Amino acid sequence: MTSTTLTWESGTSCTQSRNALAWWCSDVWQMTLRNVRHVLRSPELVMFSLVQPVMFILLFTYVFGGAIDVGGERYAQFLLPGILVQMALYGSAAGTTIGVAAEMHEGLMDRFRSMPMSRTAVLLGRTLSEIFRNVGVAGVTVGVGLLVGFRFRGGLLPALAGLLLLLLFGYAVSWFAAYLGLSVRNPEAAQAVGGVWIFPFTLISSAFVPTGSMPGWLQAYAAHSPMTAAVNALRALFTGGPATSYVLQTVAWSVGLIAVFAPLAVRKYGSR
């Protein structure tokens, strides 16, 4: 069988010269690049991602804000962390759940799966590119927030820490979204599912109203929602106040989501 070993080498010219880790990084980079290009080359997606936070900030600040009592605080100050977290979730829902479901039905996925590339890279590239998008969306959100009266009162470092926490949380949720996108039968179902799952998360939380006005059983749910933890952590870091417990909760939720849904999603991708 010596002839076999010899003939195997022609197809892959430089496998030997780099180690497996370097190629894994290269695969992930290629997939991230691809998804970032998708974002940049979809003007309607860019518009939608950027107009949405502006719309929500203006709507809540000027339409609902006057009627919501947030304990003497400016509503914009209260609202902005909620909008930031909500936008990160919307991005995952629309981008990842629907995008992944649609892509799995394209011939390109068969091509990837018939290639010697890493199987984790496809989904990693997808979720990592969500971070890129979230940076843009968070930038616009903060910018509009500053215009309507929001201020970083806790100082520069806590503000940066808050934004990093936001990106981590958004990243973790995109793994859940990816798993969801892989689990539904077709892109149409993903449209339906992708838009729905975020509502109980975003609305039943401390994002837009203080949870104190909700009925007791709902309060209990809202208090333990990861969304509430993330919003409260950001609020404390941006405005001042005890942040540690909320930050730890948010980190724990994020790590937990990744630990559970990343392996599930990768397995689902491999088995399709």
Partner 1 sequence: MPAAIRTAGLCKRFGSLTALDHLELTVPEGTVHGLLGPNGAGKTTTVRILATLITPDEGTAEVFGVDVRDDPRRVRSVIGLTGQYAAVDELLTGRENLHMIGRLFRLSKSDCRARASELLERFGLGDAADRQPKTYSGGMRRRLDVAASLMARPRLIFLDEPTTGLDPRSRMEVWRLLRELVADGTTVLLTTQYLEEADQLADSLSVIDQGRVIVSGTPDELKAQVGQDRVGITLLDPGVMERTVRILRERLGTDPVADPDKMQVHAPLPDGGTLPDLLHLLRESGIAVGDVALRRPTLDDVFLSVTGRSADHGTDRRTSGKETERP
Nearer to partner 1, 93 or 121 (CB): 121
Residue 124 · residue 271 · CB < 8 Å: no
Token output for 133: 């998008």
Nearer to partner 1, 224 or 272 (CB): 272
Site residues, partner 1 (CB under 8 A): 1, 3-4, 7-8, 10-15, 18, 23, 26-27, 30, 33-34, 37-38, 41-42, 106-108, 110-117
Q: Which residues contact 127 (CB under 8 A, 6 or more apart)?
A: 96, 171, 174, 175, 178
Nearest to 161 by CA among 248, 77, 44, 269: 248
Compute the least distance from the CB of residue 243 to partner 1, in Å: 40
Determine the Cα angle at 223 with ends 219 and 225, to 5°.
115
11: helix, coil or strand? helix
Nearer to partner 1, 42 or 245 (CB): 42
H helix intervals, the chain = 2-8, 20-40, 43-59, 75-91, 99-104, 107-113, 119-147, 156-183, 187-196, 198-203, 216-224, 226-239, 244-271
